[in-house]
């Protein structure tokens, strides 16, 4: 892991971003034109894709795959405003698997692993939407790979930032036995942004305002991690 130095102006911008997010529902755009450009990069992994739509919204039928991509693109936009380099595992609704592969899930996972580990990035964030048999389940949660100290630190920073801005978010991080976490050669987290099985949360997750505020929270957590 490369520990990179972010200049004082970046710290000020981070604090301003977190104050804005904590105090208003409508996200205000952060001005970055005068900020120094920190030289680090991340991988943003939009889960699922193609014939694998993932979880399905209980009310509208929105698929996890399309929401994952919506959040990934918004996080990409915000990161690039802060001068953070971004590698996307997917940038459209197509799957990452080889159409001729007999095991498309295995093919997809191998492709994700190769994109992540060949990126030269400093960390990876995988975005997903959750589902539960009971509609009462709700709240964002962040996972990290077992035994990854830096993964835990990253997860804790992102989860803390999300909790400061969303009352429904879980106030703890958990070990997650996920392929993209276990095989990432860098600090990595998997963010379950909310539950598509909860009618209220499903509706919120589809709004641009909620998506922007949520992705700002992830960004603040990433910047906070690099300041540790």
In the chain, domain spans: 8-226
State the pTM of this model. Answer: 0.85
What would the CATH number be for the domain defined by 8-226? Answer: 3.40.630.40
Give yes or no for a contact between 46 and 127, defined as CB atoms under 8 angstroms apart.
Answer: yes
Asked if residue 216 has pLDDT above 50, the reply is yes
Cα separations (Å) of 209 from 13, 29, 131, 147? 21, 12, 22, 35
30: phi > 0 → left, psi -120 to 50 → alpha, else beta; which?
beta
Point out the least confidently predicted range of 19-33, 101-115, 117-131, 204-218: 19-33
What pLDDT, on the 0 to 100 scale, is given for residue 107? 96
Q: Binning pLDDT at 50, 70 and 90, where does residue 203 land?
A: very high
Residue range 167-189: mean pLDDT, rounded: 97
Asked if residue 22 has pLDDT above 60, the reply is no
């Amino acid at each position: 892991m490369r520990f990179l130095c972010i200049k004082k102006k970046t710290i000020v911008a981070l604090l301003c971003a977190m104050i804005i997010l904590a105090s208003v529902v409508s996200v205000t755009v952060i001005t970055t034109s005068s900020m120094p450009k920190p030289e680090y990069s991340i991988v943003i992994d939009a889960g699922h894709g193609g014939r694998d739509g993932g979880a399905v919204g209980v009310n509208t039928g929105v698929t996890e795959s399309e929401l994952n991509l919506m959040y990934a693109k918004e996080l990409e936009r915000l990161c690039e405003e802060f001068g953070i380099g971004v590698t996307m595992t997917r940038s459209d609704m197509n799957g990452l698997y080889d159409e001729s592969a007999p095991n498309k899930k295995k093919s997809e996972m191998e492709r994700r692993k190769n994109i992540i580990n060949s990126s030269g990035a400093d960390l990876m964030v995988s975005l997903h939407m959750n589902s539960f048999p009971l509609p009462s389940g709700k709240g964002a949660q962040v996972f990290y790979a077992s035994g990854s100290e830096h993964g835990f630190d990253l997860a804790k920073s992102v989860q803390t930032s999300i909790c400061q801005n969303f009352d429904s978010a879980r106030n703890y991080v958990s070990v997650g036995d996920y392929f993209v976490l276990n095989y990432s050669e860098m600090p990595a987290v998997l963010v379950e942004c909310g539950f598509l099985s909860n009618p209220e949360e499903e509706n919120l997750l589809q709004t641009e305002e909620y998506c922007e505020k949520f992705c700002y929270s992830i960004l603040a957590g990433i910047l906070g991690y690099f300041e540790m």
